[in-house]
Structure 1
């Protein structure tokens, strides 16, 4: 086979690879519409969307530099994921506040047990920052203390928010604890646990004089990737093909099992939101990116606060090249989004907090 023939074959393979990449990316754009119970592949494709989009852009750039029309194929696939793109990039005009308006500012933060710090440094810094930002309600996930900095010390640091809901030790046994701190009274609280899961949710009403907001603080099923990653990496590093295949199957099976659990948990909190007699703020660490079934299902009845009031690029997980948005604040359509942002706080957690201000209409 001559050089020209080899070159031609390579060129055809590049075109074929471009079409395959574009097809997979377009399929991934619809992954959020497919329940995990109905497909193993689609949730995995949804998880890969950020990487797929970057690879499509690089492919389009390469074809464009070569001045080939094939650059349009990955660009079409890229923009087929417009729903995902607008969930991480937004340009909203600043909202004006009126003196007569009623406003509530809420923050959600997976604090990773305050990093297990014995001095309470991160807790104090979080309290200082949130008070400076004028936050009215704090929703924490992975809220844990230790013998050197117990719950009483945490309460004192967060005394600006005088109303607190912290589940008792008996109710959080075997569960990653969550908590709510508020400047306003909290009523009708309910702690929600899930079968075969260490994750949980908490529901309560924030009473602001004559107005009441139903608050649902969530920590949905963890991915379990961090706990098992080293094991999978060891298996994949071996020269044993069977062990490598088994590690890949185990990883896919673990991810799918957790997709299923998150979907079930999503149905539970969605039901509570739909049946609420009051406007709803639903927030927390959902362990789901915007291409996921969880995100799409919640958006059927609630609004994504970033879409209504955010600006710029949004991510909340500090690692993975800052490509993952997994923490959210959703709200009822009757609440007006005023501001939504995620400050880059380098403290005790691998997450950033998310802060939103709403107007009660």
Structure 2
């Protein structure tokens, strides 16, 4: 039994160090060391394993349980970026936005039109534009021609593409300055470089050689994409930091919470789910494991009121994200 407990202790300490590695994404960019960012993908499974082992020590009446419980507090905020149970705010919402990757409308443009039309959102930010046949009456629309679209019931003051960094042909986002009730706000619609995985590419089938090759291919796609994200984040941050207006930044980051992308895109902004979200923030549902890659962030002067991942519709491989705010602060 002592040998078994020693093995579990070594495993528990190892998991602890891996979890601590995910926190280093706030400081270490992928171009220097991409493996910390890779760890962020496994955060839910690492955290579950850590909690299970902590309970094992509790039920075993081992003093080390208190050490692991205390160290587990470091991961309270990272966990809340995946699963959260916040209290209801007292303020009243006066702005409703939707962020939605529509998968190019391949699951039905008419259904997307109909669904978005029922929401009554003030601003709609789309990634992978639905394409031909997409029309929202009563909204002013801007599209970059590359799949990023903004629609709003309010007056657009200015709109521009956030230029990609040198050597990158993919547009990482757009910025739209919108006048709402006499005040201007900057909406940044983000679509970071996708990994372009298909289900079969990430599904392990028990064949050792084939699975090993798949894992190599997965890592071979992930790490170069992390490095591209670093360049894309740099130009998006310029749009945030140089904004003379309060900012709402949302979209498909193709990155999970606790990643380099999350830490740096959220810098100086407030994660609406972290503040007012309830339940799971999982927004990409094409795979069976939990993935949150869609976000809504805002300046501190904008108060988040509610955040919802709408799982009632299945018209894309992403669920729509609906957030409301109070602009009265």
Q: If the TM-score is normalised by the length of the shorter chain, which range does it land in?
A: 0.7 to 0.9
Q: Provide the rounded CA distance (Å) in 1 between the counterparts of 2:58 and 2:247.
A: 47
SS of 2:134's equivalent? helix
1:109 aligns with 2:83: no
Work out which of the residue numbers 74, 91, 94 in structure 2 matches 1:96. 91
| Contact 1:95–1:339 (CA under 8 A) maintained in structure 2 | no
Q: How does 1:5-84 map to 2 (within 5 A)?
A: 7-72=1-66, 74-84=68-78
Q: How does 1:124-135 map to 2 (within 5 A)?
A: 124-128=114-118, 130-131=119-120, 135=121
TM-score after normalising by structure 1: 0.80
| Contact 2:107–2:316 (CA under 8 A) maintained in structure 1 | no
SS of 1:37's equivalent? coil
| Contact 2:201–2:214 (CA under 8 A) maintained in structure 1 | no
Per the alignment, do residues 320 and 199 of structure 1 end up closer, same or farther by CA in structure 2, a change over 3 Å counting?
farther
Q: How many aligned residue pairs are there?
A: 325
SS of 1:225's equivalent? coil
* Aligned residue in 2 for 1:336: 303
Unmatched runs of 5 consecutive residues or more in structure 2: none
The alpha carbon displacement at 1:344 in A equals 1.4
Work out which of the residue numbers 145, 148, 167 in structure 1 matches 2:144. 167
| Contact 1:60–1:73 (CA under 8 A) maintained in structure 2 | no
Q: Provide the rounded CA distance (Å) in 2 between the counterparts of 1:59 and 1:225.
A: 33
| Contact 1:214–1:280 (CA under 8 A) maintained in structure 2 | yes
Higher normalized helix content (fraction of residues)? 1
* Aligned residue in 2 for 1:268: 235
| Contact 2:163–2:235 (CA under 8 A) maintained in structure 1 | no
Q: Which runs of 4+ in 1 moved over 6 A?
A: none
Q: Provide the rounded CA distance (Å) in 2 between the counterparts of 1:81 and 1:260.
A: 25
The alpha carbon displacement at 1:247 in A equals 4.6
Unmatched runs of 5 consecutive residues or more in structure 1: 1-6
| Contact 1:315–1:323 (CA under 8 A) maintained in structure 2 | yes
RMSD: 2.6
Larger Rg: 1
